[in-house]
Amino acid sequence: MKLAQFAADLGYAISRAFAVTPKGAEGGARLDAYWTKGEGAAKIRWAEPCAFCRCKEHLGKYIQGNKLDGHCANLEKRATGHWPNPEHSRTKHCPC
For 76-87, b/e burial (b = at least 16 CB within 10 A) is beebeeeebeee
**pTM given for the model:** 0.68
What pLDDT, on the 0 to 100 scale, is given for residue 20?
Answer: 52
Query: pLDDT tens digit string along 26-64?
Result: 777 888 899 999 999 999 999 988 898 899 899 998 888
Query: pLDDT tens digit string along 69-87?
Result: 889 999 999 999 999 886 6
Euclidean distance between CA atoms 45 and 83, whole angstroms: 15
